[in-house]
């Protein structure tokens, strides 16, 4: 269309009162802000390989500086757990967190972080990217004007730190524990007094005896918080978070303003971070666990079988109850467990058999 025809067409649109569509051009630049549920120097969650700040730098380079994102750790711009509301209200364009923190907004969001007794990293990521999980994530958030992508993964996490070892099921009754997400609901059903605390508040609460136990991530990040200085019993059974996945939350209005190439850059950078963060976690956790046990007097041991059995039963009851109470939760629940049923057969041959038959050989 030459200039004369373009101006004529523009005049026709103006004369009808119909607004001409706004088209994001490839050369447009964007300056966004990202808040975070974790502190500004938290390993993995804020800084380091596969972290949000690492992803932000990759986006800047790949976009040639056209998409610039300023990162704010928890408390620097908003409190730790207000990212969902901040993005929804347009205060910021992005937030880095875990979707299970938004259970008060929509219960189904928790499935995208991880599911107790659920799939490993391999299965969880397969469900998200090739089993309909990512599409369901968008459907769950669509009423809130939000879109989301997986941004990182710790892999399996540890049960947590306890001032006294858990030796029988009765000890859970009345236990005060920092634990988020679905696992918190499961523990609560067995009498645990669950607390939701930001990462920076866990150590002082455990040290002062405000709580009796705390779950955070794994050996490296837990050691960085100093949790081994407040409790010496480290239970290792990762029943509650077998594939803990981070969330990149984006305002849909802001997302729709990006041209297609920048959207693709964000999607690919966040997907790459899912792998890089896991690989970093796997590279540091072994040495950190050895250090904790060898040099800091930590006792690392699994939970008793009767406790695991009770937690499994309570998990199934909790999930079935919530799925029956909400149509969207049931849709996500059914998708996740249908995929898991198919994937479990392969996982038994691949991951499980390898650990049992090959690793021990």
- The CATH number linked to 278 is 3.40.190.170
pLDDT band at 358 (very low <50, low <70, confident <90, very high): low
Phi/psi of residue 22, nearest 5 degrees: -90, 120
Q: How many CA atoms lie within 13 A of 56 on its CB side?
A: 23
Q: Do 98 and 183 belong together in one domain?
A: no
Residue 57's domain spans which residues? 31-154+243-283
In terms of Cα–Cα distance, which of 221, 206, 180 is closest to 45? 221
Report if residue 273 sits inside a domain: yes
- The CATH number linked to 312 is 3.40.190.10
Count of domains in the chain? 2
Report if residue 178 sits inside a domain: yes
Report if residue 340 sits inside a domain: no
Report if residue 361 sits inside a domain: no
Q: Do 134 and 233 belong together in one domain?
A: no
Rounded mean pLDDT of 345-351?
A: 89
Q: Summarize pLDDT for 186-228 with one digit per residue, the tens.
A: 999 999 999 999 999 999 999 999 999 999 999 999 999 999 9
Report if residue 355 sits inside a domain: no
Q: Do 164 and 228 belong together in one domain?
A: yes
Q: Do 58 and 75 belong together in one domain?
A: yes
Q: Summarize pLDDT for 276-290 with one digit per residue, the tens.
A: 999 999 999 999 999
Q: Do 119 and 181 belong together in one domain?
A: no
Q: Tell me the whole-structure pTM to 2 decimals.
A: 0.89
């Amino acid at each position: 269309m030459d200039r004369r025809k373009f101006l004529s067409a523009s005049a026709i649109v103006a004369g009808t009162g119909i607004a001409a569509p706004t088209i994001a051009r490839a050369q447009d630049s964007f300056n966004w802000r990202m808040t975070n549920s974790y502190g500004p120097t938290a390993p993995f969650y804020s800084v380091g390989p596969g972290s949000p700040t690492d992803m932000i730098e990759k986006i800047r380079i790949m976009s040639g500086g056209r998409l610039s994102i300023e990162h704010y750790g928890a408390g620097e711009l908003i409190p730790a757990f207000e990212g969902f509301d901040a993005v929804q209200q347009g205060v910021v364009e992005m937030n880095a967190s875990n979707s299970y923190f938004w259970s008060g907004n929509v219960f189904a969001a928790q499935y995208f972080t991880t599911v107790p007794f659920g799939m490993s990293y391999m299965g969880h990521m397969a469900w998200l990217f090739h089993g309909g999980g990512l599409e369901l994530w968008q459907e769950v958030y669509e009423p809130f004007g939000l879109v989301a992508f997986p941004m990182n993964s710790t892999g399996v996490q540890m049960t947590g730190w306890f001032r006294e070892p858990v030796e029988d099921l009765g000890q859970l009754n009345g236990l005060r524990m920092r634990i988020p997400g679905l696992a918190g609901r499961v523990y609560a059903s067995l009498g645990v007094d669950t607390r939701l605390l930001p990462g920076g508040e866990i150590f002082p609460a455990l040290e002062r005896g405000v709580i009796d136990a705390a779950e955070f991530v794994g050996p490296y990040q837990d050691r960085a918080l100093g949790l081994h200085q407040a409790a010496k019993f480290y239970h290792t059974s990762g029943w509650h978070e077998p594939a803990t996945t981070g969330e990149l939350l984006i305002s849909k209005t802001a997302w729709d303003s990006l041209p297609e190439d920048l959207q693709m850059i964000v999607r690919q950078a966040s997907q790459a971070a899912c792998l890089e963060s896991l690989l970093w976690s796997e590279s540091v956790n072994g040495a950190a666990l050895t250090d904790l046990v060898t040099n800091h007097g930590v006792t690392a041991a699994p939970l008793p079988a009767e406790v695991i059995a009770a937690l499994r039963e309570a998990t199934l009851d909790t999930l079935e109850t919530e799925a029956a109470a909400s149509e969207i939760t049931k849709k996500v629940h059914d998708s996740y467990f249908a995929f898991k049923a198919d994937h479990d057969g392969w996982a038994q041959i691949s991951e499980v058999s390898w650990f049992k038959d090959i690793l021990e050989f």
